Amino acid sequence: MLNKDQIVEAAITVWKRYSWHGVTMTRVAAALGVTHAALYHYFENVEGLKLEIAGRAIANGEPLLMAELLLLDHPAAACITQGEREVIAGRVASKDPTLLSSQADCR
């Protein structure tokens, strides 16, 4: 049976593959093998789902995803600590290959 955690994890996977703007209910549903209508039982709209995945990315310390939130000046980025911001900035500045290591292969 489908649950909220499965949806959030699938949405994070979609985010890693398609970027923030590529997260849609249709793509998340396809990743789960369900219709997009099934997702609306758990989330009112895609913005609600995105708010949930942004919070999860920050809570899990996902550097690539947090960096994208910072670049987008997303309201959830306010929850990223100054220390986390400095680490992300340092990794971006040094072109640290591990920053992108969590991103799915887009081919």
Q: What is the pLDDT of residues 1-48, one digit of tens each?
A: 899 999 999 999 999 999 999 999 999 999 999 999 999 999 999 999
Split at pLDDT 50, 70, 90, the class of 105 is very low
DSSP alpha helices (H): ranges in 19-101? 25-32, 36-39, 46-59, 63-72, 82-93
In a domain, 103, yes or no: no
Residue 38 lies in a domain: yes
> What range defines the domain where residue 73 resides?
4-95
Tally of domains within the chain = 1
Q: With respect to residue 102, please indicate whether it lies within any of the assigned structural domains.
A: no
Confidence of residue 106 (pLDDT cuts 50, 70, 90): very low
pTM for this model (two decimals): 0.79
Residue 40 lies in a domain: yes
Q: What confidence score (pLDDT) does residue 98 get? A: 61
Q: Is residue 104 part of a domain?
A: no
Average pLDDT, the chain: 86
CATH number for the domain harbouring residue 42: 1.10.357.10
Is residue 100 in a domain?
no
Token code pair at residue 107: 């081919």
Residue 42 included in any domain: yes
